[in-house]
Amino acid sequence: MNAAVVETKAPEGLAGWIEPARTAVVVVDMQVDFAAPEGVLGAAGVDLSSVPPALAAAETLVDAAREAGAKVVFVGLQTRAETDSPAWRERMVRRGGDPDSGSALCRADETGSDFYGPTPQPGELVVGKTRYSGFVGTDLDAQLKAMGVDTLIVCGLTTECCVDCTVRDAFHLDYHVFVPTDACAAYEDDLHTSSLKSLELNCAILVTADQVAAAWQGAA
């Protein structure tokens, strides 16, 4: 499967909307278990062919943010048996699955939870989460507000799940949200495309990593 291509046109005014002093790039769940062939999903045979282009675009985005002086924030799943969602486990059972079968995703302090692709530099904010959204049960909102951030560029894995949930919560918390379509991926193209369409309709402005980088050119 090749990554779905979602065409976007750079909106007029983008440079002013994403001024580095008030903007953070938020990288969601680009971790070994979700993105690497040796991770839990890759080892289970999930088609990861859509992931490498998204990782590369996210690298472009993160590099541009650092050069321009925008904040870079990493949000990653960090699970433990005691923090596994009871609702998620029961849903698995009701669908006929076994929540205790196979390997758990992104166990804290194990290789599967390591960031894969773009990785944090010293001093950059890293937030661990136990649910789909980066805002649920974390201090992400408080940390962003303390940094003077009101605008987010959210990328990561997967488009229809943790990216989608994080973007919607960000919008409900009154952030201005942009989603770089090429720096996100889902394991099925239709999920990627439909999720982006829904987010564009309701919560976010769609851009590409190159459009953001171009808007920031010379901003530092």
* Residue whose C-alpha is closest to residue 76's, from 159, 149, 167, 138: 138
Length of the chain counted residue by residue: 220
The answer to whether 71 is a known catalytic residue is no
Place of tokens 């002013």: 16
Q: What is the pLDDT of residues 47-64, one digit of tens each?
A: 999 999 999 999 999 999
The answer to whether 184 is a known catalytic residue is no
The more confidently predicted of residues 150 and 7 is 150
Domains in the chain and their CATH numbers? Answer: 14-216 (3.40.50.850)
Which three-class secondary structure state does DSSP give residue 55? helix
The answer to whether 162 is a known catalytic residue is yes
- Which phi-psi region, left, alpha or beta, contains residue 218 (left: φ > 0; alpha: ψ -120 to 50)? left
Lowest mean pLDDT among 4-8, 120-124, 198-202: 4-8
Which among 155, 162, 184, 203 is annotated as catalytic? 162
User: How far are the Cα atoms of 8, 9, 38, 164, 217 from residue 211, in angstroms, in the given order?
Assistant: 9, 8, 32, 21, 10
Which among 129, 165, 184, 203 is annotated as catalytic? 129
Q: What is the pLDDT of residues 143-164, one digit of tens each?
A: 999 999 999 999 999 999 999 9
Q: What's the pLDDT at 102?
A: 58
138 cis-preceded (ω within 30 degrees of 0): no
Q: How far apart are CA 86 and CA 97, in angstroms?
A: 14
Predicted model pTM: 0.94
Give the pLDDT mean for 98-124: 90
